[in-house]
Amino acid sequence: MTTLSPDILTALEGQGIELPSWAFGNSGTRFRVFTTPGTPRDPFEKIADAAQVNAYTKLAPSVALHIPWDKVDDYAGLRRHAEDLGVSLGTINSNTFQDEDYKFGALTHHDDRIRQKAIDHHFECIDIMGATGSRDLKIWLAEGSNYPGQADIRARQDRLQDSLQKIYDRLSDEQRLVLEYKFFEPAFYHTDVPDWGTSYAQVVSLGDKAMVCLDTGHHAPGTNIEFIVMQLLRLGKLGSFDFNSRFYADDDLIVGAADPFQLFRIIFEVVRGGGLNNPDVAFMLDQCHNVEDKIPGQIRSVLNVQEMTARALLVDRDALAAAQQANDVLGANAVFMDAFYTDVRPALAEWRESRGLAADPMAAYAASGYQQQIAADRVGGTQAGWGA
């Protein structure tokens, strides 16, 4: 069995992966949102489910909220509820893609009234951050156009910059803005923030508290995502990850499900670039569990990240550097592949047991009866989901 060194175990012990509250609600496709017995009906129940993931893995110490999906009357009370369950409230995610006014844009809209409405929504999110103790405001924009000539794409960038500056200026010294990008959908001709370069260009002009969020599913097929990770770390502008997996587009599948080698390569660059256990680089999941149960889906996700982190830490960096310097192409690749193909699962299981955790968190959760309990108890009310 592969042995993980004390240094690797120390690095793994410091790892934390933020869970998205919306992963515990109902989701689906543009054709159908499916229901599941036991789905949370409010943010308090979402956090209770997220706490289960942390209880079995010690990998998920915080929960991201989505506004307005997670609006409550008492955010201080929601914060206490989370802390009582052993987790904290993390990133606040804004939403400018489910309001009729935003059909043709929000922060980029040519109508000053609509644009101010979108800015005010982000002001509200910043107020919520103050109540929840959250550091990051994450902005993803579903804005763009479908046809050539439909919109003035340069003017939209100017309006976006102005809107973001107003939002940025409202942040406290301890708060950050992270701007996500996505190369298409729901706008198909042009998207206002389609790639890391556009996001970088926008945030770098705002100031030191503005960063880029990299969603692993938001790239064109064949994109070398680990190169982008390297570049943003090199530039000091990688603020956060949204981890998920894709086969075709923004599939929001369990991270590592489609291409575990890609996840390994990404995390290797995170390790090499000083992003692992760096408080300025937040690890978060952004996934939808359409056909699988939500809690075990999130458990599997954080375990996949942990496993690929352990493998990335096994790369013999000295041997790799020597092979690279010698232009030993196959030798360098072999160093890389040896680490990727190492089965670290038995060592991780043993390590979990040494920390008082179950060797197999998936099996332990399944045996706990929690899934059956919430299915029996959460009857009535409206299940949370997209738009809820």
Is 229 a domain residue? yes
Q: Could you give the CA distance from residue 64 to residue 79 in angstroms, rounded to a whole number?
A: 12
List, in sequence order, every residue forming a beta bridge with 240; answer none if it has no partner. Answer: 213, 282
Is 326 a domain residue? no
This prediction has a pTM of: 0.96
pLDDT in 10s for each residue of the chain, 388 residues: 889 999 999 999 999 999 999 999 998 877 888 889 999 999 999 999 999 999 999 999 999 999 999 999 999 999 999 999 999 999 999 999 999 999 999 999 999 999 999 999 999 999 999 999 999 999 999 999 999 999 999 999 999 999 999 999 999 999 999 999 999 999 999 999 999 999 999 999 999 999 999 999 999 999 999 999 999 999 999 999 999 999 999 999 999 999 999 999 999 999 999 999 999 999 999 999 999 999 999 999 999 999 999 999 999 999 999 999 999 999 999 999 999 999 999 999 999 999 999 999 999 999 999 999 999 999 999 999 875 4
Q: How many domains does the structure of the chain reveal? A: 1
Residue with the two structure tokens 């299940």? 383
CATH value at residue 215:
3.20.20.150
Is 247 a domain residue? yes
Is 338 a domain residue? no
- For 147, the domain range is 14-315
Is 240 a domain residue? yes
Is 261 a domain residue? yes
Q: Label each residue of 105-148 as H, E or C.
A: CCCCCCCHHHHHHHHHHHHHHHHHHHHHCCCEEEECCCCEECCC
Is 236 a domain residue? yes
